[in-house]
Homo-oligomer: A and B are copies of this chain.
Amino acid sequence: MTLNPADESFAARLRQTLPEAVFRPTEPRYLEEPRGRWAGQCGVLALPRNVDEVSALVTAAAAARVPVVPYGGGTGLVGGQVMPDGPAPLIISLERMAAIRGVYATENLLIAEAGAVLADVQEAAQQADRLFPLSLAAEGTARIGGNLSTNAGGTGVLRYGNARELCLGLEAVLPDGRIWHGLSRLRKDNTGYDLRDLLIGAEGTLGVITAATLKLFPRPAAEGTALVVVPNPQAAIELLALARDQLGEAVSAFELIAGQGLHFLSETLPEIRQPFADPPDWCVLIELGLPRGQDPESALTGLFEAALERGLVSDGLIAQSQSQRAQFWSLREHIPAANRRIGAICSHDISVPISQIPDFIVQGGQVIAALGQFRINCFGHLGDGNLHFNVFPVAGRSKADHANQRDAIQGAVHDLVHAMGGSFSAEHGVGRLKVADLERYGDPVKLAAMRAIKAALDPAGIMNPGAVLRG
């Protein structure tokens, strides 16, 4: 079924039903994505102020068979936010729908519009003495509608779950332009198919999320952070089990850091203070969030002593102040920036069953070594089985030198991940970058069901064409 561009005549029709204030001239930022792999196009840029305007826009696009690209903060890493080819789309940016519609502290929830910046949602929760635990590097720019559309992960998943698990209800405009009013404040509601979880993670291909009910949590009364040296990834996994055994759900982050990452940091960002004079091969950043009456330092000391006895750690630092906590986290959070300065040949956002992580790291290294001389920086959310396994040139060479090897490296890593029962996209989604991976590795029956659902809800195929499923 062919689509039509959002051309002058379509723009003119839109202006008959929607106020002029909704429309803006295109700016480059709507056509770029962080990895610079694609340049988007734009026929019409609309910045609606409420769900009725979103509905009117999508209704018009459906009638005219014009593609629609929903736009959040633009921080997605798989090109879901840019449509580089085909008829020029109507881009609907949610940035003017950024209100927190209500905070219900006793119910531990708030209702945010899709355009609310993630950091502002966190802030609204904090003002009500609650925690909204979704946390990721782009939180100052990413918008909650995009976080939900991509089922964002981040550092809080271990304890609190992905974006999907933090959402109780949605308001959304479906591909025919109709509004689904699903902003439930209920914890339990078993009345029909789970449309919410279908839209979450659909990357804008099944509709436009316009608002969401989000779960809040008690803020931990005390937090503690430690950076510990482990002999190898297997020990890190055993340390996590020990930590959960001793501390239950209080373990709120458990991030693996490779020595390579620390070396990249000292090379490219020497101003970031490093706690170990000699970067260890592997260390783990542990964060605890404890209820009242429990002392993080003694909890971390107890864990460290028990781990030392079992040979799971060899050294470690417990943060003694807020600024030391911030320093440890800054180490973790600047790893992607250091990676960018070195210049990865390719990045992988993979997950495998947690017990397979050590094997994956070993075999992944072998697979890469068989293809040539490279450096690997492997880091991430160990507790979730999710690693960012990024491949770099050796010192003195550049990623451009290896451009023709990128596909082979990526294919080798993804083949290995697939053979281990893992995923080629743990948290970033499919977007446009991984459509072929989904076709190659996805279960064919699931793919057929996805295509049937897409055709049923979006028969003209107007919603974010080319993302997730081939158009």
Contacts and interface: CB of A to CB of B under 8 A. Distances in A.
Interface of A: 104, 106-108, 150-151, 153, 157, 161-162, 164-165, 174, 178-182, 184-195, 197-198, 200-202, 206, 218, 220, 237, 241, 244-250, 290-294, 302, 351-355, 381, 383-386, 421-430, 434, 437-438, 441-443, 445-450, 452-457, 468
A447 B178 contact: no
A352 B186 CA distance: 6
Number of copies: 2
A244 to B, nearest CB: 5
Contacts of A192: 201, 430, 438, 442, 446-447, 450, 468
Nearest to A201: B194
A191 B442 contact: yes
A427 B186 CA distance: 11
Given A181-B443, A246-B293, A248-B290, A106 B241 contact: yes
B355 A188 contact: no
Contact of A174 (B178, B244, B430, B449): B449
B248 A178 contact: no
The 5 A-B residue pairs whose C-beta atoms are closest, nearest first, are A248-B291, A456-B456, A197-B197, A185-B353, A189-B423
A434 B456 CA distance: 25
A425 to B, nearest CB: 5
A190 B430 contact: yes
Given A106-B237, A244-B218, A456-B456, A386 B449 contact: no
A426 to B, nearest CB: 4
B381 A191 contact: no
Which of A206, A220, A292, A352 has the largest number of chain B CB atoms within 10 A?
A: A292
Contacts of A179: 445
Contacts of A428: 190
Contacts of A290: 248
A244 B107 CA distance: 12
Contacts of A453: 193, 198, 453, 456-457
Contacts of A291: 245-248, 250
B456 A188 contact: no
Which of A150, A178, A184, A197 has the largest number of chain B CB atoms within 10 A?
A: A197
